[in-house]
Structure 1
Amino acid sequence: MTRRPLAAALLAVALPAAAGTNTAAITASVMAPDCLQYRIVGICYWLLCTPFGCSVKTSVKVRHYVPDAVVSSYANTGDNPWSEMSVLGLPTPLAQAGGDGTTNHVGENNLAKFKEADVIGHPGAALFRQFARSFGYACPGASTPFVPYFLSNLDVLAWRYGLPEMVYPESLIPGRREIGSTLSGNLWGNLYPRSGSLHQADDYKTAAVIAQRAGDITTRSGQPHVYRSLLAKAKDGYWPAGALKESDASTGQWQRLSPELSQSCAVFPERESHAESPDGSYAWALWRPYACCKRVGQTFLGSTDFQ
């Protein structure tokens, strides 16, 4: 079967199940040109030496986004919307349940919301490589499919109690590390403390902020959380993605997977309309930018960017 028919067949099988997120649907979602954003950005120079002498060879430098991880944000422990992975977020002796804040006053709206979050390696790596190579040379991402990089039920002190980040300057000073802004009227929430609780009336916005927090943690090293770093090492001809930054598309973008599948990527706060999940469970694919060029010699001499 050729590449395009194979991709089309997988997409056709997975689309009906998009709302009930599963591995097939998530795998097929990588065929999204809007998220890929494939670009030729420069030229790499290599020194190739043979018994007959040395010469300088060139290769094209490309830049595109890679779906590194599936980030789930959900209301109750064990309810990850990615059905095959929900077992990883089951309750533990220290993380028994989730859910929003409650009140005894009927007319009072308690805005305290809580979400668990999982960051798991995207399962569509093989299909993505096939899809990206149809545009040209493709760069590898940092993740391994199905590997958990962050499970909030194991990060009890930081995720449920905000320790120690509740006393960080980013947590105490308004306007620092926020998703959206008060001045523009689209403030979704504060990034710190990077815990599971947020004061926000909108369930979708709450889930998005929690997903951003989980992505922020895993794309950095040395954070006071229980996690695995989602970072690749730079090498000759390979420039991996760095730390995720809120509202900055040059560091990463989000593709909505559940409760409805989107074929486009955006940063939070996003302009595209969205639907709230009836059970408070959401999932996004985190796409991050990588640049690379094909090795055509033994020694990397450098690169020139067009822009």
Structure 2
Amino acid sequence: MPASSALNAYSELRSWALSLLLVSGPSLALDSARITASALSPNCLEYRVVGLCFWLFCTPFGCKVKTSTKVRHFIPELVVSSYATTGNNPWTEMAALSSPISGAEGGGNLITPNTLRDNLPRFKNVDGIGHPGGVVATQLAAQSGYACAIGATAFQPYYLSTLDSLAWRRGIPESVYPESLTPGVREIGQQALGNMWGNVYPRQGFLVQPDDFKAAAVMAQRAGDVITRHGQPHVYVPITPAPSDGYWPPGPIVENEASTHKWQLLSPQVQPTCAIFPSEPMQSADGGYAWSLWRPYSCCKREGQTFLFSLDFEGGAS
């Protein structure tokens, strides 16, 4: 397809996606079309030229050093749904994946209507499923230059809390980890600023948190923390793409650090911007929430047989 035709087709896709988001409201169900459209977000993409890569290019007539631009941008890897009722994933097409099974039948919050005693745990199921709009986001990045390949697969279930009931519902073994027992460690937000939402550990489905949105967000952060790491005591598939010449995939997400990840709210309402937690709460009528998890990739186009090194404009080499 000629470049002009491809650009026109992409422009039409972007116009369709933006129109879909504009007419969509919180009352509409969250489906794959709306999620895919949400990936066309320049704010979340955050495309930047960050440096130069150096390659050794050789022919029978000799060798020379060639350069290519090093870019960095975020890609939506996961749709992380956090919801109270088992089997009621807000992403309607994926709800059947997390139907109640033996050992993970119930759901709901252990809360009281008495505002003077709102100190009982809330419970959320969490699903982490491959984002259907990752390719759309890389196409958006490609309009600014070179784009990095995504390390996740669309619609792939990476984490379903119903299959991880020992850890997610009983806190085994993480309830006795030092991170779970030490105040001030691995917290989302800061006590000093008055915006601490909860602890990352233990990475389970219960949390004492009066605000439903904040509780759901902490659960999403916990699941993302697991999925982006190897060897965790949970039932899951990790997203840990391997680096290669001219390709630097993201590391694990770290709470409070926007350089490692960003969240884009999808339900109860699709938002066009990204943020880390703590963020502005938006309550759901049925206790169901969903976010896109965006992570940063860096890469450069191969311009030779051998990668030599890269230089970042802000200093440093790799």
Count of matched residue positions in the alignment of Structure 1 and Structure 2: 305
Distance in 2 (CA, whole Å) between partners of 1:233 and 1:103 is 47
Distance in 2 (CA, whole Å) between partners of 1:18 and 1:47 is 52
Is structure 2 residue 20 aligned with structure 1 residue 13? Answer: yes
Instruction: Select the residue among 154, 163, 170 that pairs with 1:154.
Output: 163
Residue of structure 2 equivalent to 1:280: 287
Root-mean-square deviation over aligned CA pairs: 1.5
- Counting only pairs closer than 5 Å after superposition, residues 1-307 of structure 1 correspond to structure 2 as 1-17=8-24, 19=26, 20-102=29-111, 108-270=117-279, 273-307=280-314
Q: Quote the offset at 1:17 in angstroms.
A: 3.8
Residue of structure 1 equivalent to 2:4: none
Distance in 2 (CA, whole Å) between partners of 1:138 and 1:78 is 36
Q: 1:22-52, CA deviations, whole angstroms, 9 ceiling, x for partnerless residues?
A: 1000000011111111110110011111122
Runs of 4+ deviating beyond 6 Å: 104-107
- Structure 1 residues 232, 183: CA separation in 2 closer, same or farther (over 3 Å shift)? same
Distance in 1 (CA, whole Å) between partners of 2:287 and 2:23 is 20
Distance in 1 (CA, whole Å) between partners of 2:69 and 2:195 is 41
Structure 2: which amino acid aligns with 1:148? P
- Contact 2:203–2:223, Cα closer than 8 Å, also in 1: yes
Structure 1: which amino acid aligns with 2:309? G
Q: 1:179-216, CA deviations, whole angstroms, 9 ceiling, x for partnerless residues?
A: 11222111101111000000000000000000000000
Identity %: 55
Q: 1:109-157, CA deviations, whole angstroms, 9 ceiling, x for partnerless residues?
A: 3431000001111001232222111111001121000001000000010
Distance in 1 (CA, whole Å) between partners of 2:116 and 2:56 is 73
Distance in 2 (CA, whole Å) between partners of 1:290 and 1:129 is 11
- Structure 1 residues 74, 46: CA separation in 2 closer, same or farther (over 3 Å shift)? same
Structure 2: which amino acid aligns with 1:286? L
Q: Quote the offset at 1:54 in angstroms.
A: 1.1
Distance in 1 (CA, whole Å) between partners of 2:247 and 2:112 is 53
- Structure 1 residues 106, 188: CA separation in 2 closer, same or farther (over 3 Å shift)? closer
Structure 2: which amino acid aligns with 1:139? C
Distance in 1 (CA, whole Å) between partners of 2:120 and 2:276 is 24
Distance in 2 (CA, whole Å) between partners of 1:218 and 1:127 is 22
Q: Quote the offset at 1:57 in angstroms.
A: 0.8
Distance in 2 (CA, whole Å) between partners of 1:121 and 1:17 is 22
Q: 1:257-286, CA deviations, whole angstroms, 9 ceiling, x for partnerless residues?
A: 11011111111112xx33200000000000
Distance in 2 (CA, whole Å) between partners of 1:102 and 1:26 is 31
Structure 1: which amino acid aligns with 2:220? A
- Contact 2:17–2:40, Cα closer than 8 Å, also in 1: no
Give structure 1 stretches of 5+ with no counterpart: none
- Structure 1 residues 284, 226: CA separation in 2 closer, same or farther (over 3 Å shift)? same
- Contact 1:200–1:206, Cα closer than 8 Å, also in 2: yes
Structure 2: which amino acid aligns with 1:112? P
Distance in 2 (CA, whole Å) between partners of 1:4 and 1:110 is 50
Q: 1:1-34, CA deviations, whole angstroms, 9 ceiling, x for partnerless residues?
A: 5311221113313543453211000000011111
Structure 1: which amino acid aligns with 2:77? D
Structure 1: which amino acid aligns with 2:38? S
Q: Quote the offset at 1:102 in angstroms.
A: 4.8
